[in-house]
Each structure stands twice: as structure tokens, then as C-alpha cells.
A and B are shown apart, each in its own frame.
Chain A
């Protein structure tokens, strides 16, 4: 899906009009069908989505959030995204981003963030920071004949040759964290010039750093092809993240159903709160009195609930809750709904595919197992923006659950044609028979000598010796 959220400045008088104009303009710039954002899928969250960067007021009436769950990312979105980069795809790291390899992957996501930041340490002037992120999950296991080795050339079918001349920093980080303190599990070529250690999401990680701007990198070869080889087959036990969630629809039939969200907290001893934001379209009529939150068999009452009911064809449901997750637990949130019958022009051309419900958003400050030290923004801009943490003990995480696909009761669209045919047939048959009976005139008919068939039959009978007709 596509997600757009905007904090408007306090000087904007008509926020809805500005929101509509902005979504239309962004739709044109990014070729992303964001013009389908209207009041039926826009909500105003109160607790999630705090403003990034320097922010003055937090009047949540200036915030708008919309999700289009049916949108798919494709090449037409990648091209304007690349156009925003100063060097485009001609120099630097962006030469790797060719569409035919990037979309040959299991997961693809791109984002653009704009926020105001201090121009320098004294913070006397405000600058605008544009941050573009691209997340791709390549499945080298299935495409690499069963080996988990990868290289830049295998993934992108090209290598890095130089850095963008306009960049002040151009680095490649490769995660070479040893698992369980074992060394020599994997090997990275070419040998990295430096190694960077950071605590990312509660885990100590080691990164090999390739700095494209340092002149020594391209001394030995003209191009940089980072390769990773596994020395020993690695056991496939991946650590589960501290916070993860699932969502699904249950129920039977086309009248009612139930949305269930499962939130897992795998931290061994710390409990922490999480904000859940759910946006459900108006045609699934939620029954808020059936909302239950159960943790470890007991009911869990949220400390903050904000619910805005839907208005048919005007506004979706908005449900925001602050839930405390105990340590090492599973929390199940269920709410029942009823499916509405839409007007016949409101169905999409393929109504039996189903209607999408956008994913819900979980925002949390997850406590980290290892204490993190404060890192300066100047030294590692990548890590402070990707893995932000305000204090050393917890880090901020925003999770998205799966979108749902729900079937709505669909009428039979061929009925008007059937009705016309049936009515016309009945009328024609009934009316025709009555009319015939009423207006038939009878007159006597003389026996004729017989037509051609009778004469032929008589000739054959004469041959057989049977009396004629």
C-alpha cells in the first residue's frame, strides 16, 4: 500500500483543502495514484505520528494520515524517486538501482521524508531535510542454488565505480556481526578499511564500512564489488524481535466477521506500552462494545482509548489505544464487525477479489537489552535517523501489520439483463396467446389434392401395393 502523513503548519487555515491539493500534487510527482486519497480514507490520529524534527505546536488537528492499501510499488514510482537524488542514477550509490533487478525481489518499499532541522549546532536557522529510503529484500537463497552467499554484482548486476561528487558522505555498511561470539563464520571481500560497532535495536552489531569517498578504496580495482561468503553452514535460528504483531480476519459467511490482532512481547523481563492505530473503512461496521483485549488469559484495560466512529461514505473508523504489554506475553485484541451492502455503482470492476483494509500501525518505545550510548548526528547520520533513540535505554519502533482482504456481499450484476429477458418473454408468450385466441377467425378448408409430399408418398405406396392416402 501507499501511506501519506502530513503535519501542516499552524498558519494553514483550511487544512482539508491543503491536504487535498498536496495529495494531488504528490500523486503527480510520484506517479502514485495518491489522488484517490479523500475523506473516506483520511483520519486525524491523536497519539501516533508525532512530528519529526523541530516542531512547535502539537495540535493534532493539523495532522492528516491516509493509507491506500491497494497501491502497488512499481517502476513508475522508482523513476521519480531517483530523479530527486542530486546525482540521479548517474553516479554514486544510486547506480545500483536499476529497476529490473530491484523488482526481482521479495519485498520492496520506498519512502520520502521531509522535516525541518537545525542548520547548525547553534540552531539559529532552520533547514529542510529530505530523506529518501529504499528497502529491498533479496532472496539469494532461492536464486543462488541453495547457498546464502551474495555479492553486489549478483544482486544488482552492476558494481560501484565512484561516489557522487555532490555527496559529503557515501558509505556502504555490511553487517558482519558474529553470532554467539564465534569468529570466522563469514568472510567479506574486499577487506574493509574500517569496522563500525553500534547497538541497533537492542543488539550489538558490527558493520564493515566501505567509504566511497576515500581515495584508497579504488586503488586496487576500478570497481567495488562487495562479496559475502559463509564459511560454515549457519544454523537457521534467527532471533525473534522484541515486538512483533499479526492481524487476521476470522468468521464465516458474508454478514459478520471479527478482526483479531496479536501483539507479541518477547522481552524476558520488561513490560512497555504500545500505541495501536487502526483505520477501518466505513463498509465494515465495527461494534466497539465487542472490543476485547486479553493478555495471558486476563483482560487488559488500555490506559487511553480514542475512537471515532465512521460515517457512511464520508469517514472511516479510527481506533487508537495505548496498551501495556507485560513481559514475555501475547496480547490478543478482537473486535467484531458487520459487512455493509454497497450501492451497485460503488463496487470495483472485480468485486469478488475483495476489499482491502489498511494495515494497523504500532508505535512503541522498546526497551533495549543492552544500554545504548548517545551517538552524535554528525558522525553517523544514517544510524541516528534509521534507529532513533532519545535516551540510551530504549529505541523507537513503528510496526505495520498485514493488510486484510475482506469479501463484501456482492450482488449479481447480470440481473438487469436477466430481468429484461424474462419479462419480455413472459409478456410476449401470455399476451401473444391471449391475442391469438381473441382474434382468430375460423373458415372451412376444402380437402386439397395434396401437396408434393402426399403425392410422393402415394407413388411409393403404389409400388408397395398399399392403398393410397
Chain B
């Protein structure tokens, strides 16, 4: 009989503090059967965990510390959130570039069909989004606003021609050609024309009949199992091969019904990776509960909020520092009252966010940091601060010098003459004839 860890976790949930950022850990005796054999830590999908005691107090303390690092933040995860501001050398080559913190994101699902003569592709994207993607976005709605749309593009080819591999009689895209795939497609996507928020693109590519089947190779040369790859801060691409290659006499075009379950699995995994919610570096005795259709556990949401709050506060300080430097450079900028009040509000919100972070109130700290970012952006990008509105100093010189220089020249010459004459007169009385 499988150990009742999920049920135990669910039963203990009403006793826990469910506010954002709080964690509850239950220590169970070593011989307890709540946890399966060989597992000493069970992490639930809400904000609780079960830890098996054993091996002494020091071992327990180590286990609790590791658990805190997994379920909450670490120094490296916070540093990764600030990766834009830290010089490159300090973070190491594998520092992940997760999506920047923003007030909203726009997600676009695109179906690329480069060969409409051979394939007629049908995908039930609306149903798939409602069933699989919407629960995840509802969970993430605390972090940002999401909007989803989809499109179908025809005659959109990848930028790279795949090689034909005789052994597997399939076409292969090697790992080092993947960065060149995205650029030609990006022009057709039309993503940033109509949105204020950053766009995440998820492309499903159905290869042409002459290039089927198409597999993506990883660095070692083996085909990737999901046949997909993602690009940080941009989105992901999945190649969907038409199954059972039809005999050459089959009447074109072939009808293709896309298996949305397989596709959405990959896209949702890529979405988690883009946000930085990857699960790795776990010691072997940890067991994580699967979050089900919601896509992410509560404590993973907390991790995201910690990182975003810190990033927001860093953004506010950078923006306000730039504004202060601008004011130093141009001395005669007029700051309107509403710009000044936005700056005050940004500073106050940032300070309250930091205070709340110190006490651990994650939800109010996140809201305060969002307000601080909005106010600081509104103050910094106000059109009344345009540099060109003010007279630069050399224009003032150009206007006043032609007037005052001709007047000043005779005055200076006569002053010089007066000085010379008084000096001569002072010498003369000493020369008495």
C-alpha cells in the first residue's frame, strides 16, 4: 500500500498558516510509515512538508536547512533575479536568464505550416488552452496579468535547412543551428506590434512533406525526446512530425489532427522553465508532490514572488538613481508637482516593500514593490522631462556674446590704459627734476 503522504499533507493543511511566504514543516518519528522507504523529506504541493527525524539533531538541522533552501529562496536564486545588474563574471556561466518581472505577459501560440499543399493541420487550441493552460495562468494571476492568443501561419519556414541522416532516414536539426531558427520566423509572428507587455511565443512547427520526419539533436547527437527547445526570455518551439508517413500515392493534402495533450505538456514545461520554476539539484532523499493540473506548487509561487519583489525593488532604485543623475546633469529642469509626488510615492513604496520583506510579509511586499515600479516608471518617462526642452548652455553663449563682446573690448582696453597711467604717475613723483 503506498504511504499516505499526500493525504496526510492534505489533512494537515487546515492547521497551517496559508499566507504567502509561510512554510510549515512537520517532523515525524523515524519509524513512521507516513513517508515511503528511503525518503526522508516529503514536500507537499501547498506550503507544508513532512521531515523524518533520525540520525541525530545535526542531521535533522541539515535536512531542515536544505528543505528551506528548496522551498524558499537562496542567495543564488536572488542573485539570478538580479542577474541584469550583476557583472557577468560574478554569476558564473550557467546563470539562467529568467523572464524579467513585468506587470503582465502576453502568451501567443502559433501553428506554423510551411506546406499547406501537403498538410491540412487542425488544432483545437481554444479547448486546449481552456483545459490545460488556463488553470496554470489562474494560479499565476497573483504574479501578473496574462492574456493568451493564437494564430496559424502558412508558408513560414525555419531559417535552417535540416540535414538528412541515412542511418535513421530522418532529417536532423543540430543543436548549434538552433539559434538561427528563430530569426526568420520572428518577422512573421507580429508579436510586439499591439501589446504593452512582453510576449512569450510558443510555436508548433509541422515540417514539410519533403523534410519529414524532423528531429532535434542535442549536443551529444541524440534526438531530443520531446522534439522541442526553448529560448530564454522568448518562448519555445516544438516540432510535430506527422505520424505514419503516408504512401506517395496518397491524395494530398493529408489531414493532420494535432494531439494537443502531448503539445501542451511540452509547452507548459517550457513555460515553467521560462519563469525559472525548474526542479533540480535535489538531494536523492527528497520527494516532491506533483502539483497536478495547477502546474505549480504554492511554494514555487512563493519563490517566484520573492525573486520578482527583489527585482522590482532593484528596478525602482536604478530608475530613481538615473533620474537623479539626469537632474544633476541638467540643472534647470522643471519638475512638475505630479512627477514629484510620483517620485515620493515610489520611494515610500520601495521602503515599505523592503520593510515588509524583512518581516516576511510576502504578499504586501510584492504589492508595494509593484506600486513602486509603476510610480517610478511614470515619473521617469514623463514627457515633461525631455532633455531638448531646455536651452543648453552653449545656446546662451551664442546669443549673449555678440552683444557683450564688442562692448566689453573698449572697456577692457581703457581699464588697461588707466592701470598703466596710474602706475606711471606713481613712479613720476619719485623722479623729481
Contact = CB atoms under 8 A, between A and B. Distances in A.
Given A165-B253, A166-B154, A435-B411, A424 B406 contact: yes
A88 B402 contact: no
A432 B414 CA distance: 12
Contacts of A87: 116, 154-155
A91 B407 contact: no
Given A166-B154, A431-B407, A435-B411, A29 B117 contact: no
Contact of A424 (B188, B193, B402, B411): B402
A25 B194 contact: yes
Contact of A25 (B193, B403, B406): B193
B406 A436 contact: no
22 contacts: A25-B193, A29-B190, A29-B194, A83-B188, A83-B190, A88-B154, A88-B155, A90-B155, A91-B155, A165-B116, A166-B116, A420-B399, A420-B403, A423-B403, A424-B406, A427-B403, A427-B406, A432-B407, A432-B410, A435-B410, A435-B414, A439-B414
A432 B408 CA distance: 10
A28 B117 CA distance: 32
Nearest to A85: B154
Interface of B: 116-117, 154-155, 188, 190, 193-194, 253, 399, 402-403, 406-407, 410-411, 414
Contacts of A435: 410-411, 414
B402 A421 contact: yes
Contacts of A439: 414
A86 interface: yes
Contacts of A86: 154
Given A86-B154, A424-B402, A432-B410, 11 more contacts: A28-B193, A29-B190, A29-B193, A87-B116, A165-B253, A423-B403, A424-B403, A427-B406, A435-B410, A435-B411, A435-B414
B194 A28 contact: yes
Contacts of B154: 86-88, 166
A87 B403 CA distance: 68
Nearest to A433: B410
A166 B188 CA distance: 18
A428 interface: yes
Interface string A160-171: 000001100000
Interface in A219-263: none
A350 B80 CA distance: 53
Contacts of B402: 420-421, 424
A432 B405 CA distance: 12
Interchain residue pairs A-B with the least CB separation, the first 10: A428-B406, A90-B155, A424-B402, A165-B116, A28-B193, A424-B403, A165-B117, A25-B194, A29-B193, A435-B410
Nearest to A29: B193
How large, as a class, is the contact surface on chain A?
20 to 34
B222 to A, nearest CB: 35
A253 B371 CA distance: 58
B390 to A, nearest CB: 15
A88 B153 CA distance: 9
Interface in A61-104: 83, 86-88, 90-91
Contacts of A28: 193-194
B117 to A, nearest CB: 5
A25 B190 CA distance: 12
A403 to B, nearest CB: 28
A80 to B, nearest CB: 8
Contacts of A165: 116-117, 253
A455 B414 CA distance: 33
Contact of B410 (A88, A420, A421, A436): A436
A166 B121 CA distance: 12
Contacts of B399: 420
A431 B406 CA distance: 9
A293 B154 CA distance: 55
Interface in A403-437: 420-421, 423-424, 427-428, 431-432, 435-436
B116 to A, nearest CB: 5
A420 B395 CA distance: 13
Contacts of A88: 154-155
A432 B407 CA distance: 7
A28 B192 CA distance: 9
A431 B414 CA distance: 14
Contact of B406 (A91, A166, A432): A432
Nearest to B401: A424
